[in-house]
Amino acid sequence: MNPTARTSPLPLPDHPVLVVGATGSIGSQVVRALLERGAPVRVFVRSPQKVRDLPPEVERVIGTLEDREAIARALRGVHAAFYVSPHDAAEETLAQNFVSACEREGVRLVFSGVHADGKNRLSRLVMRTVFGLMMPHYKPKLRLAERVRTSRTNPVVLIPGNYFQMDEVCREELLAGRYPLPLGLVPRVDTRDVGEAAARALLDPGVPSGGYALVGPESLSGEQTAAHWSAALGRPVTYAPGLAVTDAIFDRAYGGRKALDCQKSYRMVGKVKVRTSPADLAQTTFLLGRAPRSHAEYAQETAARWQAETPPTPEVRKSAVPVGAS
């Protein structure tokens, strides 16, 4: 893989790019990045109500990943397809349905998720075995990612670090001066960068098939993350990790299978210490065509947005009324 960043704009395809999971945290960013580039977009969703806010030019195909006929209908005539595995007990079966359909239709598949990458199948098997011992809950996710990696779809497998935006589930705690999510030292990345990297892979046939790490400029600890929030909010934020608090936060934010996946993930990321490698940073820069966003920048932007969303107090509203207004 040549890590040289592309600077010229990509030619747009005549056929639409299909996005599965268009309402999720990553799929929605992929849709945004594609639309910003002027690419034709088609989404595959369970309900049209979920995508009612998308522009009218976005094609909607209604169906589920259990329905093979609906999948085939969604893939017909597309330029490429993006897939992210849903939080579902049948995630392997659902992935198999979609990957097999992409193979039949000859569609390039771009996937984002958990993957133990390596130079060949044997090295990936070793990595999956080790990672599976550390995180048994992730074994199905690792198997389905390998299914994508070895598929006949000229696949691109994106392997993002821990998302910056996960911090937003603990907004209440951050505003109260505490960062409770356990973080040892882990690569983290902005979901907007994941969306833009996916858009590049979907639109540019020159991106070689393979696995690509997606990371921010540096790995972050819980203490560093809390310090960024302290600077962004203009008040002290203390790193105060706690699994019971973390579990309650994800139950409050998501519930169900997604909450369970997040709770188990943070039991691992709270223990590990993994430094961002130059190779991973080079892969991210290659797909983005620029340096990735930093967590400090993300925290500043998010804190400003929170402040803008906070309704003013009655005293502020009163003082904002021009003199003489009725």
pLDDT tens string 246-302: 999 999 999 999 999 999 999 989 999 999 999 999 999 999 999 999 999 999 999
Q: What is the pLDDT of residue 182?
A: 97
Q: Determine the pLDDT at residue 87.
A: 83
**CB neighbourhood size of 303 (10 A):** 19
> Which pLDDT does position 2 carry in this prediction?
40
Torsional sign, CA 260, 266, 268, 269 = positive
Domain boundaries, the chain: 17-304
Give the mean model confidence (pLDDT) for residues 67-91: 94
CATH classification for the domain delimited by 17-304, as one of 3.40.50.11310, 3.30.70.520, 3.40.50.720, 3.40.50.1370 = 3.40.50.720
pLDDT at position 326 is 27
Q: Which residue has the tokens 């390998």?
A: 146
What value does the CA radius of gyration of the chain take, rounded to a whole number of Å? Answer: 21
- pLDDT tens digit sequence for 178-233: 999 999 999 999 999 999 999 999 999 999 999 999 999 999 999 999 999 999 99
Least confident of 55-59, 90-94, 211-215, 311-315: 311-315
Separation CA 95–CA 103 (nearest Å) = 12
7-62 residue pLDDT tens: 456 778 889 999 999 999 999 999 999 999 999 999 999 988 888 899 999 999 99
Predicted confidence at residue 74, as pLDDT, reads: 97
Contact between residue 229 and residue 302 where contact means Cβ atoms under 8 Å apart: no
* pLDDT computed for residue 312 by the predictor: 52
What's this model's pTM, rounded to 2 decimal places?
0.88
Specify the DSSP element, H or E, that contains 129: helix 121-134
pLDDT, one tens digit per residue, over 110-126 is 999 876 676 777 777 77
pLDDT tens track for 138-161: 888 888 999 999 999 999 999 999
pLDDT at 101 over 90: yes
Predicted confidence band of residue 75 (pLDDT cuts 50, 70, 90):
very high
Question: CA–CA separation, 41 vs 29, rounded Å?
Answer: 13
pLDDT of residue 114: 77
In this structure, the number of other CB atoms found within 10 A of the CB of residue 129 comes to 12
How far apart, in whole angstroms, are the C-alpha atoms of residue 150 and residue 157? 10
pLDDT for the residue numbered 119? 74
302-324 average pLDDT score: 60
Where does the pLDDT of residue 171 fall: very low under 50, low under 70, confident under 90, or very high at 90 and above?
very high
- Is the pLDDT confidence value at 3 over 60? no
Mean pLDDT over 101-117 rounds to 90
Q: Give dist(CA 156, CA 276) in Å, integer.
A: 21
Give residue 4's pLDDT band: very low, low, confident or very high (50, 70, 90): very low
Give pLDDT, residue 69.
Answer: 97
Given a contact cutoff of 8 angstroms between Cβ atoms, the answer to whether 161 and 220 are in contact is no
